[in-house]
Amino acid sequence: MRAVWILWLRQIKRYARARTRLIGSLGQPVLFLFALGFGFGPIYARAGGGNYLEFVVPGIIAMGIIFTAVFGGIEIIWDRQFGFLKETLVAPVPRLAIVLGRTLGGATTAMLQGVIVLVICLIAGFRIHHPLLVPLAVVFMFLIALVFAAIGTAIGSVLRDMQGFQLIMNFLVMPLFFFSNALFPTAGLPAPLRLAVQLNPLSYGVAGMRDALAGTASWGMALDLAVLGGMAGVLLGLSSFLFSRIEA
């Protein structure tokens, strides 16, 4: 489908051209890397956890990905306000193609963002145990990106203006990030918190990335792939449905 391709390309071009946004969205993960990665390192090691930097880097990569991905989806609101959305709504292509193009484009840029964060982490001292598994880690990055881009698309299809943006960030995206295994291990957590972490699709992405990059074995990558892939499918379906209900 050329329509999917051209809308994908549009997202990539917009991402590459918005340099300030690109740099701005790197700020948060870099801050977390230095403040948490190095700040908690000593106490984590003393508690017998080992190298915290090694543990937290996949979580920080996930952070870089999810914010960019959700934002890419929510851009629909911008397109609605600046009018471009209408151009796609009257085009003779299925709404599903529009959703796919946009969401895949948003997911691709978010994945690139994740790769950039990984490179920064390598410079900061992170070590990869199995270089051959790096492509697999990138697959996990893309799946995380796809899940969150689809969430963004679904939200962007429903919200009319940016006023709800803060609400979404603070009551959906932030909780999904903090109530995951991105920053702390699940072993020994209070039961409710552990349940939250286990129900959170992001946890499976972080676990998969962690296993691929740091050479650990958390939940088994097959399970991680299945959960993330399934969630991505469900959310793409939901966002297509919500997008198809938009009336100009």
Q: Which residues bind another protein (CB under 8 A)?
A: 2-3, 5-7, 10, 13-14, 17-18, 79, 82-94, 247-248
Min CB(97)–another protein separation in Å: 9
Residue 232 CB, nearest approach to another protein (Å): 25
Spatial separation of the C-alpha atoms in residues 110 and 243, rounded to whole Å = 21
Could you tell me the smallest distance in angstroms from the CB atom of residue 153 to another protein?
A: 17
Considering beta carbons, is residue 19 or 46 the nearer one to another protein? 19
Considering the complex, what minimum distance in angstroms separates the CB of residue 21 from another protein? 11
Alpha helical stretches, state H, 39-164: 39, 41-46, 52-82, 84-89, 95-123, 134-158
Cβ 83 vs Cβ 71: under 8 Å: no
Q: Which is nearer to another protein, 89 or 196 (CB)?
A: 89
Cα gap 52→102, rounded to integer Å: 36
Q: How far is the CB of 20 from another protein (least distance, A)?
A: 13
> Toward another protein, which CB reaches closer, 82 or 171?
82
Amino acid at the residue 13: K
Q: Which residue, 93 or 169, has its beta carbon nearer to another protein?
A: 93
| Buried b or exposed e, range 168-201, using 16+ CB within 10 angstroms | beeeebeebbebbbbbbeeeeeeeeeeebbeebb
Would you say 34 or 82 has its CB closer to another protein? 82
Residue 16: strand, helix, or coil: helix
